[in-house]
Amino acid sequence: MSVTDLAEDPVDPQHSPEERAAAASRSSWVSVGVNLVLTITQGGVGMLWSAFRKLEQPDLVQPVHVIALWVAGGALIAKELLFRYMLSVAKRVKSARSGRRWSRPPASRACTTYAPARWTT
């Protein structure tokens, strides 16, 4: 809906078309925000409720088919191989992060204060 469409609307003569357009925009964003909050809340609460129900009644848990385990294992292997390939390419082209490792002080030195990790080459 554009401002020119609102100018021809005689429903609310007290407000200008710009005010009505701004109100329509605000109400759209409020609607989006409410929908996001409800979706996140419903999903989170629903998952927690389902998890508690399954802990109380383990017979509600559906059996896992063998093919699902094979697919999950295949996906895990594929991801690992892709990571190894990308790491080797990064080392070959001397990518900025490929040769760096996180360094931490040895565990034998007990620290009483927080010491952040540092990049080393």
Q: How far from chain centre, in Å, is Cα 110?
A: 36
Classify residue 115: in a domain, yes or no. no
Residues 84-109 have pLDDT tens digits of: 999 999 988 887 655 555 555 555 55
The pLDDT of residue 25 is above 90: no
Q: Tell me the two tokens of residue 65.
A: 């088919």
Residues 50-66 have pLDDT tens digits of: 889 999 998 888 888 99
Give the Cβ contact number of residue 16 at 10 Å.
13
Q: Please indicate, yes or no, whether the overall pTM of this predicted structure exceeds 0.85.
A: no
Q: Could you tell me if 25 and 52 lie in one domain?
A: yes
The confidence score (pLDDT) of residue 104 equals 55
Q: Tell me the two tokens of residue 113.
A: 């204060």
Residues 78-88 have pLDDT tens digits of: 999 999 999 99
Q: Tell me the two tokens of residue 86.
A: 């990308």
Residue 119 three-state SS: strand
Rank 8-12, 25-29, 34-38, 69-73 by mean pLDDT and report only the highest.
Answer: 69-73
Q: Could you tell me if 71 and 57 lie in one domain?
A: no
The confidence score (pLDDT) of residue 69 equals 94
Q: How far from chain centre, in Å, is Cα 15?
A: 41
Cα distances (angstroms) measured from residue 50 to each of 45, 57, 84: 8, 10, 37
Q: How far apart are CA 104 and CA 112, in angstroms?
A: 14
Which of 61, 77, 105 is the endpoint of a domain? 61
Number of separate domains in the chain: 2
Domain enclosing residue 80, as ranges: 63-96
DSSP one-letter string for 81-116: HHHHHHHHHHHHTT-TTTT-EEE---TTS--SS---
Q: Could you tell me if 12 and 55 lie in one domain?
A: yes
94: left (phi over 0), alpha (psi -120 to 50) or beta: left
